[in-house]
């Protein structure tokens, strides 16, 4: 077989692509960095984008939080964090914003 006719598997083995026989396309450090926890909470009292921003800002300040999306229309707040959060910490942040956390949605 010439170099021009290498199979995809042979190419993957020599280049280390995602198709490699090891079944992994990332090293351990990259995979650990992408691990996250997504939790959806129910919050009452939000009626507008200002409310969403206030809740998002307070929750975003919690250690380990990487993303917050508050939706006034549904009363749901989706929080992505590096590790599980204490509900009491999330509740305190929502209280600080002037709203009420009723629990996980």
Give the model confidence (pLDDT) of 38-71 as tens digits: 999 999 999 999 999 999 999 999 999 999 999 9
In this prediction the pTM is: 0.68
CA distance 44 to 101: 7
Quote the pLDDT of residue 14: 44
∠ CA 71-74-79, rounded to 5°: 45
Domain boundaries, the chain: 36-104
Provide the CATH number for the domain formed by 36-104 in this structure.
3.30.70.100
Quote the pLDDT of residue 2: 42
**Phi, psi (deg, nearest 5) at residue 99:** -130, 180
Packing angle, helices 87-97 and 49-60, rounded to 10: 140
């Amino acid at each position: 077989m010439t170099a021009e006719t290498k199979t995809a598997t042979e190419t993957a083995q020599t280049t280390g692509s995602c198709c490699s026989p090891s079944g992994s396309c990332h090293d351990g450090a990259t995979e650990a960095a992408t691990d996250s926890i997504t939790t959806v909470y129910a919050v009452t009292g939000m009626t507008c984008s200002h409310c969403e921003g206030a809740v998002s800002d307070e929750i975003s300040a919690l250690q380990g939080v990487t993303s917050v999306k508050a939706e006034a229309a549904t009363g749901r707040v989706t929080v992505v964090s590096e590790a599980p959060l204490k509900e009491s910490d999330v509740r305190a942040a929502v209280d600080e914003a002037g709203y009420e956390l009723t629990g996980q949605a």
